[in-house]
Structure 1
Amino acid sequence: MTEATQVKFPYRYDVVGSLLRTQALKEAHKQFKDGAIDEKQLRAIQHAETKKIVSKQVELGLKDVTDGEFNRSWWHLDFLWGLGGVGHYDYHKSYKFHGSKTRTDNADLVDKIAYNPNHPFFDSFQFLQSVTPDGVTPKQTIPSTPMMFRDNRSDNWAKFYDSWDAYLTDLATAYHETIQHFYDLGCRYIQLDDTTWAFLISQLNETAGDADEHQKYVKMAEDAVHVINQLLTGLPDDLTVTTHICRGNFKSTYLFSGGYDDIADYLGKLHYDGLFLEYDNSRSGNFKPLSRIWNGDHNKRLVLGLITSKDPKLEDADQVINRIHEASAQVPLENLALSTQCGFASTEEGNKLTAEQQWAKLQLVKQIAEKVWDV
């Protein structure tokens, strides 16, 4: 992307994606599960609640808004299940969050993976777009391609493909065509969420003394760079595509720890317009790897997730401002932005804070960014 086509996103104060489900939406899902309402009635309530939280984001002054991921139960699985060739099964294992057990849903290959022109997220985006006022950008979030490498989701690839590379090519193509269709519907800002890189931080570090095992995770990182850049190739210049490097987010708990050092060079090779990076506590390490992640690309913004979405306590604004300026020693201030470290409800259960505390966090992000960047 050239300077002439650089778009305004990620904005200096940006929103990661998911928002706490409203009580009305939670009750509607329970009623649907109990058979008290049908799918059409559930969808009407979902739309009404989505419209409310879009209005709240606009009221806060956000320049881009999401649907809060109110159309899904999981941040990743609902999207993956909508792709061609991906099925649903019971993993029989909870994802290994610290202190909390998740449901055991998972996705796997049931055929060759492919773009689905009837993916339900397309209708969801069109509704989001319809309730987003002029001057504000509707932002679409989906999980990134490497999420299909993980947690046994591609173990049976050899049933459908002659080679792993052929599978990766189809995966990149399915995503490219999906994102292109979002664009054709009017989407100009899309974010690919990914816990794979945080997983690789742990694995590359833990296997450093075992050459064969270490190489397995090096290969996963190289494959991730390859398939992501392949899916991004040829997308329209006026489409902003970012990623959120997530460390896990379930009921205010997490999956992975460690600084970005081991993955910084891989992240620096990705052709995204921006990267959302979690930096809300010491588990994320220091800012030194930022220069390698940014990699001298003056058209790329790194969004610092310095305000946690896991804890209701509001951060001290001056301390956050000091940390932004500390980060600017590695990356020019003009190539930085601010957000919460993650969304507030990566699954329908949500984090342990109230809606009022959620909005206060987003308001703080905006207030700090306005001071730092004079926007």
Structure 2
Amino acid sequence: MTTTTTLQAPFRYDVVGSLLRPASLKKAHAQLAAGEITREQEITIQQTEIKRIVEKQVQLGLKAVTDGEFSRSWWHLDFLWGLTGVGKYDYHKSYKFKGDHTRTDNAELVGKVAYNPDHPFFAAFKYLQSLVPAGVLAKQTIPSPTMLFRDNRSDNWAQFYDSWDAYLTDLATAYHETIQHFYDLGCRYVQLDDTTWAFLISKLNDDQEDHAKYTKMAEDAVTVINAALKDLPADLTVTTHICRGNFKSTYLFSGSYDVVAPYLGQLNYDGLFLEYDNQRAGGFEVLDQIWNHDDHKQIVLGLITSKFPELENPADVKARIQAASEKVPLSNLALSTQCGFASTEEGNQLTEAQQWAKLNLVIATAQDVWPED
């Protein structure tokens, strides 16, 4: 993990990951599915749009940029399907967002989980890296390994493993080797996106009957994440985004971080992106517990929503940063949108121009708060 001399990211103003898919890319995906264009033609369109949005992020002044997750349809499933031992199937159930529902794709174990040297995300990263100018980091986002705990994805683990702990060991190893390969390709900034903690907030607060089950899930999450991060190169920054669900401007989970704060404080990340765009997340009371008084760790406050186009009042955002600094030193805080703009290819309910305005607000506000940076 990083040290004080090598830490570059997260930056005072940072981008979570996904960006709105343009109409041309959505059309290309539909045409590919219908057999009207080849995979090579779809990739050409995809890369043209990635080049455009990378140039826009650099123009805005972001110090880390992503490919908008344009090479995937789902923020999590496309990555999981690329691991050895993980297959795709129709779950026949959608994810129940507030007021909407998703497609029914899912992932399941079809063998022992392992690192795949031919994972398609590696080629996608190499293209992103080829576009990024000097002085700007190519940020790679992938789902947390905990996403293979939930939603029936590991129900059949006993078909392939003698114990649950053996499965967790393989899962951590697969992630460690995957992250290491991103590093070998030149990546110095990886983010693990994770809805598991928000799921656990709801369960630990509301499901007292199965409280022990969800406590064990939290403990296993700490174990597998920290094992995946152990002994990674010192100049690699690894952060996480604690997501509460993001689909067509809706959400999945609510509740204060207080019940998961003790676990979040144990995670060996360089930074945590926390959603704080509305009252559903609670207050800042447990921020110091999540930060855990680690001078190397950054807390990135997601105070500006990516779900709706209305721009927040900069004075209000600055006041909330100041309130957070009562729990975590200002030098260990940063700012972002609360989530990405399109965790699935459908995207949130705002325009691309409104998306750029949101990111510009993040940058301008952070520059006012941390002028020395």
Please indicate, yes or no, whether the TM-score normalized by the shorter chain is above 0.5.
yes
Residue identity (%): 71
Indicate which of 238, 241, 244 corresponds to 1:241: 238
1:112-166, Cα deviation, whole Å (9 max, x unpaired): 0000000000000000000111111000000001000000000000000000000
Deviating more after overlay: 35-44 vs 254-263: 35-44
Once the two structures are superposed, the pairs formed by residues 24-63 of structure 1 within 5 Å of their partners are 24-63=24-63
Q: Is the CA contact 2:76–2:142 (under 8 Å) kept in the aligned structure 1? A: yes
SS at match of 1:338: strand
**Residue 332 (structure 1) aligned with residue 329 (structure 2):** yes
| Displacement of 1:3 | 4.5
Indicate which of 322, 346, 352 corresponds to 1:355: 352
SS at match of 1:5: coil
1:317-340, Cα deviation, whole Å (9 max, x unpaired): 000000000000000000000000
CA distance in 2, matches of 1:365, 1:133: 21
SS at match of 1:358: helix
SS at match of 2:153: coil
CA distance in 1, matches of 2:32, 2:160: 36
CA distance in 1, matches of 2:101, 2:15: 27
| Displacement of 1:2 | 6.6
Q: Which residue of 1 aligns with 2:88?
A: 88
Q: Is the CA contact 2:2–2:236 (under 8 Å) kept in the aligned structure 1? A: no
CA distance in 2, matches of 1:254, 1:27: 26
CA distance in 2, matches of 1:2, 1:56: 28
1:268-289, Cα deviation, whole Å (9 max, x unpaired): 0000000000000000000001
Indicate which of 364, 367, 370 corresponds to 1:367: 364
SS at match of 1:337: strand
| Displacement of 1:36 | 1.9
Once the two structures are superposed, the pairs formed by residues 111-150 of structure 1 within 5 Å of their partners are 111-150=111-150
Q: Is the CA contact 1:229–1:271 (under 8 Å) kept in the aligned structure 2? A: yes
Letter in 2 for 1:280: D
Q: Which residue of 2 aligns with 1:283?
A: 280
Q: Which residue of 2 aligns with 1:161?
A: 161
Q: What is the TM-score when the length of structure 2 is the normalising length?
A: 0.99
| Displacement of 1:27 | 1.4
CA distance in 2, matches of 1:2, 1:52: 31
The number of residue pairs the alignment matches comes to 372
| Displacement of 1:106 | 0.1
**Residue 106 (structure 1) aligned with residue 106 (structure 2):** yes
Letter in 2 for 1:363: N
Q: Structure 1 residues 71, 27: CA separation in 2 closer, same or farther (over 3 Å shift)?
A: same
Q: Is the CA contact 2:189–2:236 (under 8 Å) kept in the aligned structure 1? A: yes
* Deviation >6 Å, runs of 4+: none
| Displacement of 1:4 | 4.2
Q: Mind listing any 5+ residue stretches in structure 1 that lack a counterpart?
A: none
Indicate which of 210, 213, 216 corresponds to 2:213: 216
Q: Which residue of 2 aligns with 1:257?
A: 254
CA distance in 1, matches of 2:262, 2:17: 26
Q: Mind listing any 5+ residue stretches in structure 2 that lack a counterpart?
A: none
Q: Is the CA contact 2:76–2:143 (under 8 Å) kept in the aligned structure 1? A: yes
Indicate which of 264, 267, 291 corresponds to 1:267: 264
**Residue 319 (structure 1) aligned with residue 316 (structure 2):** yes
| Displacement of 1:7 | 1.2
CA distance in 1, matches of 2:184, 2:333: 29
Letter in 2 for 1:300: K
CA distance in 2, matches of 1:180, 1:3: 17
**Residue 207 (structure 1) aligned with residue 204 (structure 2):** no
Q: Is the CA contact 1:5–1:237 (under 8 Å) kept in the aligned structure 2? A: no
SS at match of 1:256: coil
CA distance in 2, matches of 1:227, 1:5: 27
CA distance in 2, matches of 1:347, 1:224: 24
Deviating more after overlay: 33-42 vs 261-270: 33-42
- How big is the alpha-carbon RMSD for the aligned residues of Structure 1 and Structure 2? 0.8
| Displacement of 1:101 | 1.2
Q: Is the CA contact 2:2–2:235 (under 8 Å) kept in the aligned structure 1? A: no
Q: Structure 1 residues 246, 4: CA separation in 2 closer, same or farther (over 3 Å shift)?
A: closer
Q: Is the CA contact 2:3–2:234 (under 8 Å) kept in the aligned structure 1? A: no
CA distance in 2, matches of 1:31, 1:109: 30
